[in-house]
Copies of this chain bind each other. A is one copy, B any other.
Amino acid sequence: MRKGLDREKVLQTAIQLVDQLGMEKVTLALLAKELGVRPPSLYNHFRGLQEIRKEIALHTLRELEEMLLRSLIGKAGEEAIREFCHVYYEYSQKHPGLYQAAIIVYEDRQIQQAGDRIVGLLLELLRPFGMEETQCIHIIRGLRSLIHGFSMLKQQGAFGLDVQTDESFSFAVDLYLAGALKKANPKE
């Protein structure tokens, strides 16, 4: 019963399942069932579940980076940074399963690099402000923490339902950016 599976098909199905059901629910058993195949067959294409998860994370980080890049076309300065924040946040809300998959620790060089590329975008956006290297790093770490933390907490339902959370996000980003950019470039 040759199914004509390959790495790509397995991965696409896995991505789709994780997007729909979340990381924890996606087992080799379920994935195999979905592909009409027995679990051990998947080992012909992947070393095991960990590798599949790593690939999902990689895919997600790359997709996110591409969306960010696309959204930043023709934008600069504070507007660009704000856009970055919102696109990132929206992605995490639209794809909670994939986002979760992407932020688990993997101790993997490729994952690390994919993450670094996204952080690197922020660095580029901040460059024109002409701040000191060290200050830049501080600012980016904080901004990243803010976005990431908010995304996680929102996803977990940690915020009550009463006040608009999207508004809170914009508000918080504005606060942080106001402080950061004023400190860095008092002229503007």
Binary contact track A156-182/B, C-beta < 8 Å → 1, others 0: 111100110101110111111011100
Pair A150/B141 contact, Cβ less than 8 Å:
yes
Task: Report B-chain residues with C-beta under 8 Å of the C-beta of A141.
Answer: 150, 153, 159, 165, 168-169, 172
9 CB contacts below 8 A, A to B, read: A137-B162, A138-B172, A141-B168, A142-B169, A146-B149, A148-B152, A175-B180, A175-B183, A179-B179
Tell me the A128-146 residues at the B interface (CB within 8 Å): 134-135, 137-139, 141-146
In the assembled complex, A1 has its CB within 8 A of some CB on chain B: no
In the assembled complex, A73 has its CB within 8 A of some CB on chain B: no
Report A's interface with B, CB cutoff 8 A. 103, 105, 115, 134-135, 137-139, 141-150, 152-153, 156-159, 162-163, 165, 167-169, 171-176, 178-180, 183
Q: How far is the CB of A181 from chain B (nearest CB, A)?
A: 10
In addition to A138-B167, A145-B153, 14 A-B residue pairs with Cβ atoms within 8 Å of each other are: A105-B157, A137-B163, A138-B163, A141-B165, A144-B153, A145-B145, A145-B146, A145-B147, A147-B149, A148-B149, A148-B152, A149-B149, A152-B152, A176-B176
Pair A153/B148 contact, Cβ less than 8 Å:
yes
Task: Report B-chain residues with C-beta under 8 Å of the C-beta of A171.
Answer: 135, 138-139, 142
Q: How far is the CB of A25 from chain B (nearest CB, A)?
A: 14
Residue of B at shortest CB range from A178?
B179
Residue of B at shortest CB range from A133?
B163
